Structure 1
Amino acid sequence: MASVLVIYGVPKDPAHFDDYYHRIHVPLAAKIPNLKGVTLSTGPVAALAGEAAHLVARLDFADMATLQASMGSAEGQATAGDLANFASGGARILAFDDQAIA
């Protein structure tokens, strides 16, 4: 499996972020082709090291080739382009292959 991990910084207006994210962005992301699943953090995101975060999202795909093709699709590009509409605290986006070790 391969995943995209999005770490959203603390926004200027958390209520606006939360409303927009769940009402507009999540349905937009759900249209990304070949998306196997989405996991969202709940409650506060504790910073054990580094900067605090407001929300963490993980999008799962079958493999890295599928992830790259899906994120490059029109739906993937629309989802990425939507970040400017609500992520005032910034977003760090990482892509990686997964390996279960336990």
Structure 2
Amino acid sequence: MAKLVALYRKPADRNAFDAHYFDKHVPLAKAIPGLRRYEVSVGPIASAKGESEFGLAAILSFDTFDSLLQAMNTPEAAATTADLQNFAQAGVELLVFDTKEV
């Protein structure tokens, strides 16, 4: 499976962030063609050194890396990306990669 991981930095107003994220952003992202699974973190995000700068992690799964790349070139993905400016002012890191089971 291929993954897109979005690491959202802690927002100034977590309630406003959560309201927009779950009410507006998630439905936009769920409309992206080829999306197979959408997971989000629950509770605090820690690093090996303790508390991290991130307040939410989202993991979107696709069948293949090619299908992920194709999905990212759709109008649905463009709308999802454009929506980031509406709630992710603290910043977001987007990572994409293929995976294999070992």
TM-score (norm 2): 0.93
How much has 1:71 moved relative to structure 2?
Answer: 1.1
1:32 alignment counterpart: 32
2:28–2:80 CA contact under 8 A, matched in 1: yes
Per mean C-alpha deviation after superposition, the further-off stretch among 39-48 and 68-77 is 39-48
Find the residue that maps to 1:54 and give its secondary structure: strand
1:50-82 deviations in Å (ceiling 9; x for gaps): 942000000000111100110110001110111
1:44 alignment counterpart: 44
Alignment of 1:1-80 (within 5 A): 1-49=1-49, 51-80=52-81
Partner Cα distance (1:68, 1:25) in 2: 20
Quote the sequence identity (%): 38
Unaligned runs of 5+ in 2: none
**Larger strand fraction of residues:** 2
RMSD value over aligned CA atoms?
A: 1.3
TM-score (norm 1): 0.93
Aligned length: 101
- The answer to whether 1:100 aligns with 2:101 is yes
Find the residue that maps to 2:54 and give its secondary structure: coil
Partner Cα distance (2:8, 2:19) in 1: 14
